[in-house]
């Protein structure tokens, strides 16, 4: 079909067959009509659509609340919008953690000398209860009901004239009288009964030369330890209630030719780890006999403390070196129960 403008030019210059022109006009009018009708229908469709209004916030909140209630218990929506100028929850400031424990263990009847006032000799701590001399008693009967033990009294040492300068909260709790090996009596995790037992255990020592093979309760002076504990509890005004403590016993036999320096290094570093973890009230070990047999033992505040105390890298090294150093080594776990009013004790398998 010829374009309208071209057709008009042709119409001016030439004669046009009238039926063709009539046909062209008819088609053009039909096209224009269809386009106008389509636009009108589209406009009517748009005008017929309802206007979508935004729903208010309260409507949305109520809908959300209903949906949350349908789903089950959850967070309740506030009854009214929150005031964003102030926080809904105010957090109180916490006091900083003190660098030094404030849980002082000031005893009425006794105090501790500084560890450097006590010998560092291994054998003195293993076989003569040298750590018991760290306990200064205002009354000799306070620290010992056993004449065989010789606790310190203020009048027996000129060094303690100035008590404030010579006192300490660090207890020698093993043959290692050196830093990182003490029991801190100010530890907040230790109840008073555990502190008193730790003080009494400074008197621990073997009572038979065959301690490496003798029954445990016959090898060590546990009765004497209870004498000290009973006297301390009485002097401090503590009504002792039955309490359990966790005990580990090691019995071993060394190989003939071993590196003793490495053996003691493993033991010393493992003990430092245990002290750092907390709760180790006493560690004692003897000297190997002629057949290289020995006894060692630990008193813990709890089984959980003992577990944590054995998790360090030096304990791992010590376990790995077992086959290299020992022909055999066995350990057993027990409950050491101090009865009411310190009337006695029970030593039972765990």
User: Quick one: which of 289, 111, 93, 73 has its CA closest to 199?
Assistant: 111
Which tokens hold the place of 177? 């009288």
- Give how far the C-alpha of residue 15 lies from the chain's centroid of Cα atoms, to the nearest Å: 110
Which tokens hold the place of 123? 């054998």
What 3-state class would DSSP assign to 78?
coil
Distance CA 82, CA 41 (A): 49
Which tokens hold the place of 251? 């019995």
Distance CA 77, CA 99 (A): 43
Sequence-separated contacts (24+) of 331-334 with Cβ below 8 Å: 331/248, 331/249, 331/250, 331/251, 332/248, 332/249, 333/246, 333/247, 333/248, 333/249, 333/303, 334/216, 334/246, 334/247, 334/248, 334/249
Distance CA 219, CA 206 (A): 6
What 3-state class would DSSP assign to 20?
helix
| Residues near 127 by beta carbon (within 8 Å), at least 6 away in sequence | 205, 206, 286
Instruction: Please list the pLDDT of the chain residue by residue as tens digits (350 residues).
Output: 555 555 556 555 554 455 555 566 667 667 776 777 776 666 666 665 555 555 555 555 566 556 555 544 433 333 443 343 333 333 333 333 233 333 445 788 889 999 999 999 999 999 999 999 999 987 666 565 444 455 555 554 444 445 556 889 999 999 999 999 999 999 988 999 999 999 999 999 999 999 999 999 999 999 999 999 999 999 999 999 999 999 999 999 999 999 999 999 999 999 999 999 999 999 999 999 999 999 999 999 999 999 999 999 999 999 999 999 999 999 999 999 999 999 999 999 99
pLDDT (0 to 100) of residue 4: 54
| Residues near 266 by beta carbon (within 8 Å), at least 6 away in sequence | 314, 317, 318, 321
Please give the backbone phi and psi of residue 130, each rounded to the nearest 5 degrees, phi first: -60, -30
User: Quick one: which of 252, 307, 251, 240 has its CA closest to 278?
Assistant: 307
Q: What letter would DSSP give residue 159?
A: G
pLDDT (0 to 100) of residue 163: 54
Q: Please name each of the domains of the chain with its CATH number.
A: 110-349 (3.30.70.100)
What 3-state class would DSSP assign to 25?
helix
Angle value at C-alpha 341, between 337 and 344, nearest 5 degrees: 45
pLDDT (0 to 100) of residue 103: 43
**Residue 130 contacts residue 255 (beta carbons within 8 Å):** no
pLDDT (0 to 100) of residue 22: 59
Dump strand ranges (E) for the chain: 110-113, 135-137, 167-168, 170-172, 182-184, 243-254, 280-285, 293-300, 326-338, 345-349
Angle value at C-alpha 302, between 297 and 306, nearest 5 degrees: 55
- Ramachandran bin of 325, using left for φ above 0, alpha for ψ from -120 to 50, beta for the remaining angles: alpha
Which tokens hold the place of 250? 């090691």
């Amino acid at each position: 079909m010829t374009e309208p403008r071209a057709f008009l030019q042709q119409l001016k210059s030439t004669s046009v067959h009238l039926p063709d022109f009539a046909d062209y006009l008819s088609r053009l009018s039909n096209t224009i009509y269809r386009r106008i009708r389509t636009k009108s229908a589209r406009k009517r469709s748009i005008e017929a659509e309802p206007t979508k209004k935004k729903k208010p916030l309260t409507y949305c909140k109520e809908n959300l609340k209903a949906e949350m209630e349908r789903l089950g218990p959850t967070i309740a929506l506030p009854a009214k919008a929150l005031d964003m100028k102030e926080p809904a929850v105010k957090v109180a400031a916490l006091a900083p953690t003190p660098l030094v424990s404030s849980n002082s263990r000031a005893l009425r009847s006794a105090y501790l000398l500084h560890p450097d006032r006590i010998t560092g000799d291994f054998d003195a701590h293993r076989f003569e209860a040298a750590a018991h001399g760290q306990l200064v008693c205002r009354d000799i009967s306070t620290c010992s009901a056993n004449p065989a033990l010789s606790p310190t009294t203020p009048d027996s040492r000129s060094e303690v004239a100035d008590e404030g300068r010579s006192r300490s909260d660090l207890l020698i709790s093993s043959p290692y009288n050196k830093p990182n090996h003490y029991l801190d009596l100010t530890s907040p995790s230790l109840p008073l009964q555990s502190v008193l037992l730790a003080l009494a255990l400074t008197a621990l020592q073997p009572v038979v030369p065959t301690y490496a093979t003798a029954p445990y309760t016959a090898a060590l002076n546990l009765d004497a330890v209870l004498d000290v504990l009973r006297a301390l509890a009485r002097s401090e005004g503590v009504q002792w209630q039955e309490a359990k403590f966790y005990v580990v016993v090691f019995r071993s036999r060394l190989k003939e030719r071993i590196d003793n320096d490495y053996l003691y290094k493993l033991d010393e570093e493992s003990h430092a780890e245990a002290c750092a973890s907390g709760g180790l009230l006493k560690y004692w070990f003897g000297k190997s006999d002629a057949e290289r047999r020995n006894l060692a033992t630990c008193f813990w505040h709890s089984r959980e403390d003992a577990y944590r105390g054995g998790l360090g890298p030096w304990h791992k090294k010590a376990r790995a070196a077992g086959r290299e150093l020992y022909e055999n080594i066995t350990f057993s776990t027990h409950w050491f129960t101090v009865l009411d009013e310190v009337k006695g004790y029970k030593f039972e398998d765990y």
